[in-house]
């Protein structure tokens, strides 16, 4: 039996950011997480933003944000501090912070965004590959490159036979994030 994606990126349509200055493709909405991954799952949102150049982020008070640039290093200004974020590294910050994308090394690039209702915890976003033992504990896995029958940015069950083939780069949604702005 071949593993199939839970959500295919290619089947979703981009939507404008709340501030209208960019676009994002929602893969899972606030209420989808618990429905797809169990009734005890936290409310969270996973999307892929297209990054074309400098732009302010939409403010999202009451939300903890996890930002993972793919395809380019970026520089953000978060609450007045300039923060370099290398491609493939997760940056966490509060949705109430004033955030701006200052520059990126190539465009277009993309960013994986995990947004969790701020409540002192919730899932976290980490980089891994399909052979990583943390896959067994993940709520969801997002493919970062095509392979193994999956497209780029498809959501897959993290334990759905992914470890049997070549290592596939993944963004994992794991339970239990530490609150607050940090680089991981």
In this prediction, residue 161 carries a pLDDT of: 61
The residues, any chain, with a CB within 8 Å of residue 27's CB and separated by 6 or more, are: 7, 9, 12, 46, 47, 48, 142, 153, 155
| 158: its two tokens | 């993290």
Per-residue confidence in pLDDT tens, the chain, 184 aa: 356 788 999 999 999 988 888 899 999 887 666 565 555 555 788 999 999 999 999 989 999 999 999 999 999 999 999 999 999 999 999 999 999 999 999 889 999 999 988 776 678 899 998 889 888 888 889 999 998 788 999 998 776 666 677 788 999 988 874 444 444 3
In this prediction, residue 41 carries a pLDDT of: 54
**How many CA atoms lie within 13 Å of 26's alpha carbon, on the beta-carbon side?**
13
In this prediction, residue 180 carries a pLDDT of: 40
**Which sign, positive or negative, has the C-alpha torsion 174, 176, 109, 106?**
negative
pTM: 0.87
In this prediction, residue 18 carries a pLDDT of: 84
Domains present along the chain, CATH in parentheses: 9-177 (2.60.120.10)
Residue 38 phi, psi dihedral angles, 5° rounding: 115, 145
């Amino acid at each position: 039996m071949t593993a199939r994606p839970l959500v295919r990126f290619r089947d979703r349509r981009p939507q404008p950011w709340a501030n209208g200055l960019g676009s994002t493709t929602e893969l899972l909405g606030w209420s989808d997480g618990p429905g797809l991954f169990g009734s005890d799952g936290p409310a969270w949102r996973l999307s892929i933003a297209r990054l074309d150049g400098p732009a302010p982020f939409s403010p999202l008070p009451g939300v903890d944000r996890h930002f993972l640039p793919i395809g380019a290093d970026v520089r953000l200004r978060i609450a007045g501090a300039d923060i370099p974020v290398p491609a493939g590294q997760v940056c966490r910050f509060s949705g109430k912070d004033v955030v701006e994308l200052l520059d990126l090394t190539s465009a277009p690039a993309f960013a994986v965004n995990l947004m969790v209702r701020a409540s002192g915890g919730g899932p976290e976003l980490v980089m891994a590959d399909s052979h990583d033992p943390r896959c067994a504990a993940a709520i969801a896995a997002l493919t970062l490159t095509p392979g193994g029958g999956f497209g780029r940015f498809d959501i897959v069950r993290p334990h759905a036979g992914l470890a049997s083939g070549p290592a596939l780069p993944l963004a994992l949604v794991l339970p239990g994030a530490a609150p607050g702005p940090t680089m991981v």
